[in-house]
Amino acid sequence: MKTKTCLTCIGTRPEIIKMAPVHKALLRQGHRSLILHTGQHGAVADELYDFFDMRPDYTIDLKRKSSSLAHLTSALLEGVDEGLRALDPDIMLVQGDTTSALAGAMIGYYHDKPVAHIEAGLRTFEREPFPEEKNREIIGRLAHWNFSPTRQARQNLLGEDIHAARIFEVGNTVIDAALWTRERILLATDNPDEMMPSVLSPFLAAVASRRLILVTAHRRENWGQPIRNIARAVGAMLARHGDTCVVWPVHPNAAVRSDVESEVALLSPAVRARICLLPPVGYQTMIRLLMQCDFTLTDSGGIQEEASAFAKPVLIARTSTERQELVQAGGATLVGTDLTTMTQAIDRLLGDARLYRSMQLAVSPFGDGQSGTRIADVISSAQYKDGVWSGADSLAERRAA
């Protein structure tokens, strides 16, 4: 096996979490695994890089002069281009559907570097999420290797005429990261309360006998009335079910925070005492909350996946999801953002023990925690000869046979 120089282009919180297992697996298999940080999530990114023991080898000085997608895309294209020229990798790796992933895939393609797309094939077949739906379609076309997390994702790619030899069903690396983090939490000798925001530990202690519901909402399409409806549904649940409590890490956007806080302020003091609104929490804290909660109400794709690793039912506050596999497996329900629909779904899950248990027992469709190793295996098998990458394609054909 020839040692390869692999460059991972990442910059957002989910990308760092999901690429950490791949980075570690590549290093274990003897490759140079380099990180190009696109600079989108500052302090949050630094915390995650420290936690996963990853150090960026090149960081883009991302100076935003405009909030437009066109400006962000052009700035990332230029920055990634400079980073790739400086590091000169054999292979470019990108994850998911962000603008940084799109820029990484395009620059890798422009420089004739094979692109590996991790978490390939997710689709809603709708306009939303915007612009992520089109980003991932484009990346799938540019990629030499498409690493799909599920069979459905693989079928989506085949339906777009992506050759089967370029598709590898490996599971989702988010499960690798979640299980690795759970082990660190369970084996930690440090005081776990020190990892949490100062207000969270006493809140959890005070409501220890109640059912804990984790709530998150951040998607742009849910800003405004949908977020207010989510907050109202949560308030209605707390008012009707005295044995429940809520932890809600609120998106930092000022309008989102204002909408959530204004709705919570309308609750009675006794009900309001059972909800803890927080700024965004660190990854370890989020995993700890997922381990501890009874279920989650969320519009986050990552949390849908992570919750499945811990057998926690998910109510998805969206009208569609690119992770239909969890809905089909019975571990999640699409509840939208209509107030009545959400309220009915929450009441049903809280009041029907059989339904709750059936959602708990759904087998996670996102993998077994070995996805990073499978991805590294494919990259290790690839060979470069006479200007053409080979090896991986034949491996895919053998697996598909």
CB-based contact 117:148 (threshold 8 Å): no
- Please report, in angstroms and rounded to a whole number, the separation of the first and last CA atoms in the chain: 24
For this structure, is 119 an active site residue?
Answer: yes
Check if the beta carbon of residue 8 is closer than 8 Å to that of residue 33. yes
What's the rounded Cα separation, in Å, for the pair 10 and 96?
10
Residues 39/60, Cβ–Cβ less than 8 Å: yes
Residue 39 tokens, joined: 């600079």
> Nearest-CA neighbor of 232 among 252, 251, 220, 246?
246
- Name the residue among 377, 367, 376 with its Cα closest to residue 180: 367
Of residues 136, 251, 288, 318, which has the active-site annotation? 251
Catalytic residue at 218? yes
Is residue 262 within 8 A of residue 235, CB to CB? The reply is no
Burial 327-345 (b: 16+ CB within 10 A, else e): bebebbbbbbbebebbbeb
Single out the catalytic residue among 132, 169, 176, 322.
132
Q: Is 195 helix (H, G, I), strand (E, B) or coil?
A: helix
Report CA dihedral (328, 333, 334, 339) to the nearest 10 degrees: 170
- Catalytic-residue membership of 374: no
Residue located via tokens 């109400």: 297
Looking at the DSSP bridge assignments, the partners of residue 5 are: 32
- CA–CA separation, 244 and 353 (whole Å): 15
Out of 119, 299, 322, 393, which one is annotated catalytic?
119
Spot the catalytic one: 55, 64, 71, 220. Answer: 220
CA-nearest of 252, 272, 158 to 207 is 272
Given the residues 15, 90, 97, 305, the one annotated as active site:
97
Q: Which helix (H) or strand (E) holds 151?
A: helix 151-159
Q: Is 251 designated active site?
A: yes
Cβ atoms of 72 and 103 within 8 Å: the answer is: no
User: What is the 8-class DSSP label of residue 282?
Assistant: P
- Find the catalytic residue in 37, 117, 182, 218: 218
**From CA 268, how far away is CA 256, in angstroms rounded?**
21
The runs of H, that is alpha helices, within 88-190 are 99-110, 132-142, 151-159, 173-187
**What are the CA-CA distances from residue 248 to residues 44, 73, 176 (Å)?**
18, 31, 25
Residues taking part in catalysis: 97, 119, 132, 218, 220, 251
